[in-house]
Amino acid sequence: MDGRFAPSPTGSLHLGNLRTALVAWLFARSAGSRFLVRMEDLDESVCTPEHEQSQLADLDALRLSWDGPVVHQSERGALYDAAIDQLTEAGLTYPCWCSRREILEAPSAPHGAPPGAYPGTCRDRDPATAPEGRPPALRLRAGETRVAVIDRIHGEFDGVVDDLVLRRNDGTPAYNLAVVVDDADQGVEEVVRGDDLLPSTPRQVHLARILGLTPPSYAHVPLVLSPDGERLAKRHGAVTLAERGSASEVRSLLAASLGLSRPGEGVTMNSLLERFDPEQLPRQPWVLRPDEI
């Protein structure tokens, strides 16, 4: 099944990003499928061509080959607009003037929805009562639908879909909309990504369905954590390929963390493909030892 890796070009890829990219590549190649790369570069304030080139160079150094040209979300606005128009014509959108602080301080949100879920404040709001000078975002009228997802690593996961943002108040298409439209348009059949995004998956499945699209299957890879149990970051040491200096060392380290090799064993991409079994992937985070960073 065709897979993809879709980073945001906001900085260097760290070991956690590279590990997820490796797993995504193995899922696709072991199925004899295409592996695509897409740059999620809608936020022009933090995305740069330099970061993109650095990320692509890292993938190339690890021998994570991809098919076709790299796709950029910043060039796909017409697709997102068409999807939003379709939802609006179906009566499934409404403007929202709430600030992030107001949402966080709201007294209630749909039970079972992910953290930060929208409580529906503006769902039936009279536009005449909207704050002056504050442009609205556009939200999906989701109806607090509960959606179940079968994840290939975590098993069944379900959650309530809140009235998610489709277009931000600065006019930028929101992540949940863009990723659904992109995956369907590119023919992505299996999404492999970090399991921090698992809570958003019911939203994306619901959005795909009401757009008349077939949702992909999902495999959410456990994160890489620092020795203190926190999410990996630059302050934790040599966590990028450039800082490690050796693509072969990093490939071996990542392979061992996935149970595909012995610690320190040199591996090739062909040997990893021969050993890869999705059913045997770790279900828990990989916690780096101090000597590994």
Catalytic residue IDs: 234
- Residues 6+ away with beta carbon under 8 Å from 126: none
Give the span between the Cα atoms of 131 and 97, in whole angstroms. 7
What one-character-per-residue DSSP string does 244-273 give? H--HHHHHHHHHHHTTSS-TT----HHHHH
Q: What distance in Å separates the CA atoms of residue 221 and residue 64, rounded to the nearest whole number?
A: 17
Rounded-to-integer distance, Cα 170 and Cα 147, Å: 29
What is the three-state SS of 81-100? HHHHHHHHHCCCEEEECCCH
d(CA 21, CA 18): 5
